[in-house]
């Protein structure tokens, strides 16, 4: 089903984000995803269908909390040694994929007293019946219309904040007559919402929750005929093409290396662009590693960072800042491609920018890219005063590198129509009161 969905310009970002999230899940690292878009763009269809491509999990036999045999965490299995776990046995089950609606009750989501065991005549006991989230351990929780949930069920939003606050998250179940149970829970949250419908975008309803999502993608409409025709044909019953999707969960993203230069770039993006939370750069690094893993590489390249940056940073910074970050990342990705092409052919010299004429002169590629980035960022400030005349600034007052105008350094041209004293204006240019006869 998932591999039969038609991919087009409007939904390709969501497919990309889903595969990164699934890949992260396979590495036991929840990477939360929020798809925003208008009704009918198919975001819910894609996310529900993606529930079928999740990798199966191995758990302690019969454990409703999905205990990992190596790290049992539930009240029943926690503290058992490996031998005891092996005596119970292990089993492979489908990866959990559960849906929470905005009308769900806290008891069903978190947990409640297991009434069946309480009234068991042979051996009555007060036990916990794990809720949806606890049963989704190591899997995915999907929430459609999360903006509405945050609005009408703030107590469910609070649970999500706990679940998504740390990796893994923690939940606390309190029931009268039972000791408080606190448990780690490792779930990946996928959500969808339409910011144009009541009660508005999630960021406006509950900003804190909106910030907990590692990736936010915007769904759009298909923009080419062929995609629309394929969708129509499929709805009419045609089998359609199957996208050959390589299993995205081969390998652990932690095995993908990030060199020191890249890490310093990420750190500097955080500092120089004033990003609000460290979560953003951590997410950027994780996503770039996941993207490299999918491309079959064990090292992160600039294009990996550029590919994932919009989904990671889009909801955490304003458009102008994101555009600035993207320009630099893309410039760097372009150079990467260009260097490869150049070394392969050795002849295409015409397009060579003068500043890169000495390849590999000591510094690493990242070092070079970083110094280039620094130079661009500081171009405006570093220009010595009076070094350039006013002439080349009149046409908009920007510097040649496309930076922001410095008001102190910009020649201001007066508007062509000079103001005229009121008394010198012809009578008909006065503001009239409608009938034009009001003057005394």
Per CB under 5 A, residues contacting Zn ion are 63, 65, 67, 74, 77
Please tell me the distance from the alpha carbon of residue 244 to that of residue 248, in angstroms, as a whole number: 11
DSSP symbols for 83-149: HHHHHH-EEEEPPPEEE--TT--HHHHHEEE-HHHHT-SSS----EEE-HHHHTTTSEEEEETHHHH
Q: Considering beta carbons, is residue 84 or 271 the nearer one to Zn ion?
A: 84
Scanning 212-349, the segments in alpha helix (DSSP H) are 225-235, 260-272, 278-294, 302-313, 319-345
Cβ of residue 304: shortest distance to Zn ion, in angstroms?
37
Cβ of residue 92: shortest distance to Zn ion, in angstroms?
15
Please tell me the distance from the alpha carbon of residue 387 to that of residue 154, in angstroms, as a whole number: 58
Q: Considering beta carbons, is residue 76 or 372 the nearer one to Zn ion?
A: 76
Tell how strand 128-130 and strand 111-113 pair up.
antiparallel
DSSP 353: -
The three-state secondary structure class of 34 is strand
Cβ of residue 76: shortest distance to Zn ion, in angstroms?
5
The set of long-range contacts for 124-127, using a CB threshold of 8 Å and a minimum separation of 24, is: 126/177, 126/178
Helices (H) and strands (E) in the chain — how many of each? 16, 11
The three-state secondary structure class of 298 is coil
Q: Considering beta carbons, is residue 71 or 430 the nearer one to Zn ion?
A: 71
Q: Considering beta carbons, is residue 90 or 376 the nearer one to Zn ion?
A: 90
Going from the C-alpha of 317 to that of each of 112, 218, 273, 313, the distances in angstroms are 40, 15, 9, 6
Cβ of residue 83: shortest distance to Zn ion, in angstroms?
16
Q: Considering beta carbons, is residue 22 or 74 the nearer one to Zn ion?
A: 74
Residue with tokens 């779930």: 187
| Cis peptide bond upstream of 199, omega within 30 | yes
Cβ of residue 190: shortest distance to Zn ion, in angstroms?
24
Q: Considering beta carbons, is residue 65 or 213 the nearer one to Zn ion?
A: 65
Cβ of residue 2: shortest distance to Zn ion, in angstroms?
30
Q: Considering beta carbons, is residue 85 or 146 the nearer one to Zn ion?
A: 85
Cβ of residue 80: shortest distance to Zn ion, in angstroms?
9
Q: Considering beta carbons, is residue 63 or 216 the nearer one to Zn ion?
A: 63
User: Is the distance from CB of 149 to CB of 192 less than 8 angstroms?
Assistant: no
Cβ of residue 73: shortest distance to Zn ion, in angstroms?
7
């Amino acid at each position: 089903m998932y591999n039969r969905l038609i991919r087009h310009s409007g939904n390709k970002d969501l497919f990309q984000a889903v595969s990164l999230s699934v890949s992260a899940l396979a590495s036991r690292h929840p990477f939360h995803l929020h798809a925003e878009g208008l009704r009918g763009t198919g975001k819910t269809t894609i996310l529900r269908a993606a529930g079928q491509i999740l990798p199966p999990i191995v758990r302690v036999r019969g454990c409703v909390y999905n205990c990992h045999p190596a790290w049992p965490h539930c009240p029943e299995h926690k503290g058992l040694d490996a031998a005891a776990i092996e005596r119970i046995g292990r089993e492979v089950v489908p990866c959990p994929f559960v849906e929470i609606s905005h009308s769900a009750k806290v008891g069903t989501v978190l947990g409640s007293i297991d009434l069946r065991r309480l009234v068991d005549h042979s051996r009555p006991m007060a036990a916990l019946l794990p809720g949806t989230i606890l049963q989704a351990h190591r899997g995915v929780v999907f929430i459609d219309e999360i903006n509405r949930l945050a609005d009408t069920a703030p107590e469910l939003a609070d649970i999500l904040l706990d679940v998504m606050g740390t990796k893994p998250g923690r939940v606390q179940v309190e029931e009268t007559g039972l000791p408080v149970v606190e448990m780690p829970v490792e779930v990946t949250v996928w959500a969808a919402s339409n910011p144009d419908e009541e009660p508005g975008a999630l960021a406006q309803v509950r900003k804190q929750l909106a910030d907990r999502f590692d990736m936010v993608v915007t769904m759009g409409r298909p923009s080419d005929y062929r995609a629309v025709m394929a969708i129509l044909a499929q709805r009419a019953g045609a089998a359609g093409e199957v996208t050959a999707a390589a299993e995205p969960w081969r390998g652990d993203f932690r095995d993908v290396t990030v060199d020191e230069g890249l890490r310093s770039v990420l750190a500097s993006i955080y500092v120089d662009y004033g990003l609000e939370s460290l979560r953003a750069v951590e997410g950027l690094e994780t996503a770039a590693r996941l993207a490299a893993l999918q491309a079959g590489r064990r090292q992160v390249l600039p294009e990996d960072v550029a590919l994932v940056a919009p989904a990671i940073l889009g909801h955490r910074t304003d458009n102008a800042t994101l555009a600035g970050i993207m320009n630099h990342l893309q410039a760097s990705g372009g150079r990467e491609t260009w260097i490869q092409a150049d070394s392969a052919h050795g002849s295409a010299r015409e397009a060579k920018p003068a500043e890169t004429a000495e390849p590999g002169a000591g510094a690493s590629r990242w070092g070079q890219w970083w110094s280039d980035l620094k130079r661009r960022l500081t171009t405006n400030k570093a220009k010595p005063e009076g070094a350039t005349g006013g002439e080349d600034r009149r046409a908009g007052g920007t510097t040649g590198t496309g930076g922001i105008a410095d008001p102190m350094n910009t020649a201001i041209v007066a508007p062509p129509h000079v103001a005229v004293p009121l008394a010198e204006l012809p009578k008909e240019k006065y503001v009239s009161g409608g009938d034009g006869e009001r003057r005394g």
